[in-house]
């Protein structure tokens, strides 16, 4: 009898702990430019959004990613014009010039940029964009997970970047404007710093809040117009976590000049203090496991006590 009671308490407690907001970092099961990439399948990256400006005519500016029902992560340099009325953000978009059944358009309520942002080369190239109206979660519209500050993205880890940017330097994406994707490995901080320091004409300092991805030999990369879009890596449990935000490069896909991304883990406290109720991956995970472990050990000691 007390055992049943304890079981009931246990399951309602764990239920309460598990019942969080929309689960992040999950993609629908599909049967299945970015430079050197391929067309993505519809719904492959359900958190990717298209950031556009409205004047004089509708124009693609940047990418971004959904992290909550009314929040998008993008790059600070995408919002040179601070007027929120300039922007319209499309969720559930696959083709820029096709019909997207799951698409919704959202105006912008607020753009929050870390204190000290000046230009991409000096870091802090991140923007948190609050939407005026929330998205509706569906199979084609899902949030990505953001990492806690302790999450590691080691050199060699295979990640993906998606966007509607140029398919080669100065060559815009044509046709229907289908979202492109490319797989790029993380490049360790030391090799990226070394590659960019060696640059003959334009040496760049790769700062701690930047993370590089791509190939030493070049060929595959993000490019102009991909900025603000997410660099995502799949964790062992299948969850997609955003490691970076497309920030800059020297040209696109050149050897020894991999893409430079804003390191999302450097902004976890900024994100936590700006986006109400956001759960960051590592931390949510740890504390979730931690709390369950505490409940389990606590209950089992109780059981042992009761059985004595
Ligand atoms: N700054 C560019 C933009 O605004 C992104 C450049 C990314 N370049 C690269 N080689 N990965 O779209």
CB atoms within 10 A of CB 237: 7
- Closest residue by Cα to residue 253 from 216, 198, 212, 226: 216
Q: Return the structure tokens found at 123.
A: 């870091």
Contact 122, 262 (CB under 8 A): no
Nearest CA to ligand 1 atom 1: 248
State pTM to two decimals: 0.85
Instruction: Out of 40, 74, 106, 125, pick the active-site residue.
Output: 125
What are the φ/ψ torsions at residue 240 (nearest 5 degrees)? -90, 125
The strand ranges marked E within 147-239 are 158-163, 180-187, 210-213, 230-234
pLDDT of the residue at 200: 84
Length of the chain: 308
- Total number of domains constituting the chain: 1
Q: Return the structure tokens found at 31.
A: 């049967």
User: Using CA atoms, how far apart are residues 256 and 276, in angstroms rounded to an integer?
Assistant: 40
Is 295 a domain residue?
no
Is 145 a domain residue?
yes
Is 74 a domain residue?
yes
pLDDT digits (tens, 9 = 90+) for 204-244: 999 999 999 999 999 999 999 999 999 999 999 999 999 99
Instruction: Out of 40, 60, 65, 77, pick the active-site residue.
Output: 77
Is 49 a domain residue?
yes
Domain with residue 232: its CATH number is 2.40.10.10
Range of the domain at 220: 38-285
Is 143 a domain residue?
yes
3-state secondary structure of 80: coil
**Average pLDDT value for residue range 152-157:** 97
**Average pLDDT value for residue range 187-208:** 94
Is 100 a domain residue?
yes
Is 3 a domain residue?
no
Is 14 a domain residue?
no
Annotation says 227 is catalytic: yes
- Closest residue by Cα to residue 221 from 195, 243, 254: 254
């Amino acid at each position: 009898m007390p055992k049943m009671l304890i079981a009931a308490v246990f399951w309602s407690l764990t239920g309460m702990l598990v019942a969080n907001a929309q689960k992040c970092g999950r993609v629908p099961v599909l049967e299945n430019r970015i430079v050197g990439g391929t067309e993505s399948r519809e719904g492959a990256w359900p958190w990717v959004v298209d950031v556009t400006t409205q004047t004089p005519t509708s124009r693609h500016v940047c990418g971004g990613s959904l992290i909550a029902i009314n929040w998008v992560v993008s790059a600070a340099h995408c919002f040179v014009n601070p007027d929120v009325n300039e922007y319209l953000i499309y969720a559930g978009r696959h083709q820029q010039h096709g019909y997207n059944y799951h698409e919704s358009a959202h105006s912008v309520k607020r753009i929050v940029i870390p204190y000290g942002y000046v230009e991409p080369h000096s870091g802090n190239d991140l923007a948190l964009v609050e939407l005026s109206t929330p998205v509706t979660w569906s199979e084609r519209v899902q949030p990505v997970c953001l990492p806690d500050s302790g999450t590691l993205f080691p050199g060699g880890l295979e990640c993906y970047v998606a966007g509607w940017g140029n398919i080669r330097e100065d060559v815009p994406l044509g046709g229907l404007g289908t979202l492109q994707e490319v797989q790029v490995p993380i490049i360790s901080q030391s090799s990226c710093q070394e590659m960019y320091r060696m640059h003959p004409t334009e040496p760049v300092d790769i700062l701690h809040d930047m993370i590089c991805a791509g190939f030493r030999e070049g060929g595959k990369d993000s490019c102009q117009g991909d900025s603000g879009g997410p660099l995502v890596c799949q964790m062992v449990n299948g969850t997609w976590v955003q490691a970076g935000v497309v920030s800059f490069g020297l040209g696109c896909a050149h050897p020894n000049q991999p893409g430079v991304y804003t390191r999302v883990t450097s902004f976890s406290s900024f994100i936590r203090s700006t986006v109400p109720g956001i759960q960051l991956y590592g931390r949510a995970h740890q504390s979730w496991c931690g709390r369950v472990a505490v409940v389990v050990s606590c209950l089992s000691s109780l059981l042992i006590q009761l059985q004595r």
